[in-house]
Amino acid sequence: MKLENIKADKGTIREQLLKDADGDVTYIKDVAEHGCIGGNCNDLIYTVDCENFYTEHADEIDGILEIYEEQAGEPYNIGENMKRLGQSNLRNFLAWFGYEVEAQEIMRELEND
């Protein structure tokens, strides 16, 4: 499967990620493997942008968290992970989390095809 064959519903994190990648699988791979820290994610560098992204995608991010917890078989410890990553802003952390998990899902789809 090629990146251009990945489908995304309008207004989703996936759609934003594909738009940000602009056809570059390396961008998605970098997000999936290294996350958004260090300015790796085009529109999620500044706190205000992350907070706006979270506000726009809060329900979707909550759904991603639920699926993540179901697959792990245990609650996702947000506070512990924020501390480990040196994060202090919950909305920023969750915006990155949702974006990164979606990038990982796209990479799985590309690798499994």
pLDDT in tens, the chain (113 residues): 688 889 999 999 999 999 999 999 999 999 999 999 888 898 999 999 999 999 999 999 999 999 988 988 888 888 898 898 888 999 999 999 999 999 999 999 999 87
Q: Check if the beta carbon of residue 91 is closer than 8 Å to that of residue 52.
A: no
Task: Report the pLDDT value the prediction gives residue 1, as an integer from 0 to 100.
Answer: 61
Total domains in the fold of the chain: 1
Which residue, among 97, 17, 89, 91, has the nearest Cα to 63 in the 3D structure? Answer: 97
20 CB-contact burial (10 Å; exposed 0-12 / middle 13-18 / buried 19+): middle
**Enclosing domain of residue 26:** 3-112
